[in-house]
Structure 1
């Protein structure tokens, strides 16, 4: 069973942007993404249904169990999402696949968004995997850059 491990990082406030996003705005956006993934990655996820919400008594982290429907396959996946305020959200699927959304800061205080992906493919052969890996690399870039674009739009329109 192939597992594809990928990461992609992009600046949140690249040079030349007039609207500068701040950590609290980005965090608010990531919390919205937990409840409405399709707002941020409409080409990948068509709907999100929150099944339960709780707080981990040991860490204080918010835990959300949700079901998402993927656009391409119409496959439903249940995910357990843990929010590590104010910097990281981890999405865990039942098959062991894990996606992390991370807000980080460099030595100059510039903010970055990194997504890490551990995609497990129990039904994919080693021969099929290179084409899938190429597709997932493209999708990882799209997910990060698309999320940043949506965050900018939500802040610009006063929704965050």
Structure 2
């Protein structure tokens, strides 16, 4: 583990047993693309708004979005760069170097999974403080399931 960094990953099935509406890979992918432009749609408790600052493509032709999000609790603004790797991964790189990867994958039987990988940077903190950050960050694991639930609601409403 890099000093001052917490690496955490969470996975949720897209269509678990008892799902009220089965989501397709294209619907989930559309949801991930919407999340870039409207993070608050998926994390309304944490994020107040999303503003797209610019759009471009990288050297490999992948779409890149610069955006600013405003956190609900303290109205703090944060900028990040989002790179899309059609149709399996969306990478979010925050201004402090922290990274979040949203990965859409398929199992051996064609079942769909969504995984969030977090690389939270906390430079200059000691081991105890890093552990406290990690304990808080682990609680964010529910965000994967919550994202899938919101996608399902949007599909049912005909909005995705």
Shift of 1:123: 5.6
Aligned to 2:91: 90
Q: How many residues align?
A: 158
Q: Secondary structure at the match of 2:18?
A: coil
The answer to which of 43-52 and 8-17 deviates more is 43-52
Residues 96-115 of structure 1: matches in 2 within 5 Å? 96-115=97-116
- Aligned ranges 1:49-64 → 2 under 5 Å: 49-56=51-58, 58-64=59-65
Counterpart CA distance in 1 for 2:89 and 2:20 is 25
Uncovered stretches (5+) of structure 2, i.e. residues with no partner: none
**1:94-151: CA deviations, max 9, x gaps?**
2110000010000000000000000111364322222221110011x12101100110
Measure how far apart 1:18 and its partner are: 3.6
In 1, Cα distance between equivalents of 2:52 and 2:24: 27
The answer for the alignment partner of 1:38 in structure 2 is: 40
CA-based RMSD of the aligned residues comes to: 1.3
**Gap regions ≥5 residues in structure 1:** none
1:145 aligns to what SS in structure 2? helix
Give the match for residue 146 of structure 2: 146
Where does structure 1 differ by over 4 angstroms across 4 or more consecutive aligned residues? none
SS at match of 2:128: coil
Alignment deviations for residues 61-87 of structure 1 (CA, whole Å, 9 cap, x no partner):
110000112233432211000011111
Determine the C-alpha separation between the residues in 2 that align with 1:121 and 1:146. 26
CA gap of 1:123–1:42, structure 2 versus 1, over 3 A, is farther
CA distance in 1, matches of 2:48, 2:123: 23
Match of 2:7 among 5, 13, 29: 5
For residues 154 and 123 of structure 1, do their structure 2 counterparts lie closer, same or farther at Cα, with a shift above 3 Å needed? Answer: farther
